[in-house]
Amino acid sequence: MKKHIIVFEAERGSDKWIDGHRKDTMPIINAIKAKGWNAEVVYFRDEWKDVIYDYALEKADGYISRINPGNLPNGEKVYFQTLTKLSEAGLVGMSTPDAMINFGAKDALVKLATTDLVPDDTYAYYTIADFKKTFPVSISHRERVLKQNRGSTGSGIWRVVVVDERPYKAGDSLPLDTKLKCTEAVDNHVEYHTLSEFMDFCEQYIVGDNGMIVDMPFMPRIKEGEIRILMVGANPIFVVHKKPAEGADSFSATLFSGAVYTYDKPEKWPELVSMLTDSLPMISEKIGGLDVPLIWTGDFMLDWDENKNDKYVLGEINCSCVGFTSHLDEGIQEVVADEVIRLVMEKHG
């Protein structure tokens, strides 16, 4: 065993600090080194893929992916191919492309719709034909949320409400001229469209690689805030309570849209944290038998059960490049270093 970890970064992007790295990169590097191991940053370029593969295979036991795919000028395809090749050659991937894709894809919610974490009327549309056949029935339940697979910071996440005064009942296939009120989470702006117009607009979210739309019921209690648990492996680190901005149409929990963030220790949310940690084996099994990512988040919303007691609904898993710079002073990087070493020792020790 070499006791050496490579941290992959992109050379550009708004997530970089004055030293050219993400703010949490060097703290991770230094925490690994403090434990008697070595670690270094390697910048990824498509044209360097073969050199990077040979270098990493020779020097390292594992890699940490700290690249937001949007910061790669040619996208993630070659990068993910290289990471997969390294994992197949024996390096411990933290996290592998398979884990990032399968946990982070919006249709992970559909895979969990048979569990207590996600409403059972949660659907995924992979073709335009399926979308246009099913959504007119789905929206007859009055209020839904559509999520594109590729969006971030609320882009392509729409709260859709029927505002048509014509009579209809749940389960009907609504006519194409049904009037809809559509609010996008990125900034809570409102648009009015017919059902036909809106479905035509949403076709862009389905075409192309990894295109899909997830359709789930709107959770009115989102106004009370989204609750995000930041995890390192199976370890809950902190909880962020993200309360949307005031306003009748506001439902977005992004900072860009004016949401207010409150950071808590996991102990303040014992029921939610226990529910997530106890569910991890089941989540991993449903998502494909994959290990949970190295650094990831689970985003939850409040709902009521049949007895009007609080319950939590999973709204999203994020794992491609989750940051934690706001809590570096609390030593989260050391938890990351411990988990990295544990994972490598488990495989190669």
Output the pLDDT for position 251.
59
Q: Judge whether 5 and 41 are in contact, CB under 8 Å.
A: no
For the cut 60, the answer to whether the pLDDT of residue 248 exceeds it is no
pLDDT band at 275 (very low <50, low <70, confident <90, very high): very high
Verdict on whether the full-model pTM lies above 0.95? no
Output the pLDDT for position 257.
56
pLDDT band at 253 (very low <50, low <70, confident <90, very high): low
Q: Judge whether 229 and 266 are in contact, CB under 8 Å.
A: yes
pLDDT band at 13 (very low <50, low <70, confident <90, very high): confident
Can you tell me the distance from the alpha carbon of 212 to that of 209, in angstroms, rounded to the nearest whole number? Answer: 9
Q: Does domain 120-217 have CATH number 3.90.70?
A: yes
Output the pLDDT for position 258.
66
How many C-beta neighbours within 10 Å does residue 248 have? 9
Nearest to 95 by CA among 251, 319, 342, 317: 319
Q: Which helix (DSSP H) or strand (DSSP E) does residue 147 occupy?
A: strand 143-148
Instruction: Find the mean pLDDT for residues 10-23.
Output: 91
Rounded to a whole number of angstroms, the CA Rg of the chain reads 21
Domain ranges of the chain: 4-95+331-348, 103-109+222-325, 120-217
High-pLDDT (> 90) share of the chain, %:
73
Exposed, middle or buried, 72 (CB in 10 Å: 0-12/13-18/19+)?
buried
Angle between helices 49-59 and 77-88 (to 10 degrees): 30
Amino acid at position 264, single letter: D
For the cut 90, the answer to whether the pLDDT of residue 124 exceeds it is yes
Instruction: Find the mean pLDDT for residues 178-207.
Output: 95
Cα 332–252–76 angle (5° rounding)? Answer: 60
Q: Which helix (DSSP H) or strand (DSSP E) does residue 278 occupy?
A: helix 270-287
Which structure tokens are listed for 90? 């024996």
Alpha carbon distances (Å) from 7 to 12, 60, 114:
15, 10, 37
For the chain, the average pLDDT equals 91
Task: Give buried/exposed letters for 174-195 (b at 16+ CB in 10 A, else e).
Answer: beeebbbbbbbbbbbeeeebeb
Task: Give buried/exposed letters for 115-152 (b at 16+ CB in 10 A, else e).
Answer: eebbeeebbbbeebeebbeebbebbbeeebbbbbbbbe
Output the pLDDT for position 4.
98
Instruction: Find the mean pLDDT for residues 162-190.
Output: 93
Q: Judge whether 180 and 139 are in contact, CB under 8 Å.
A: yes
Output the pLDDT for position 148.
92
More confident residue, 251 or 123: 123
Read out DSSP for 200-217? Answer: HHHGGGTSSTT--EEEEE
Output the pLDDT for position 305.
85
More confident residue, 311 or 150: 311
Amino acid at position 322, single letter: V
For the cut 90, the answer to whether the pLDDT of residue 196 exceeds it is yes
Give the distance from CA 10 to its chain's centroid.
Answer: 19
For the cut 90, the answer to whether the pLDDT of residue 114 exceeds it is no
Output the pLDDT for position 151.
67
What is the third-level CATH fold of 103-109+222-325? D-amino Acid Aminotransferase; Chain A, domain 1 (3.30.470)
Q: In this predicted model, what pLDDT tens digit does every residue of 45-74 receive, in sequence order?
A: 999 999 999 999 999 999 999 998 888 888
Q: In this predicted model, what pLDDT tens digit does every residue of 283-321 receive, in sequence order?
A: 999 999 999 999 999 999 999 888 888 899 999 899 988
Output the pLDDT for position 260.
84
Output the pLDDT for position 334.
95
Output the pLDDT for position 59.
97
What is the third-level CATH fold of 4-95+331-348? Rossmann fold (3.40.50)
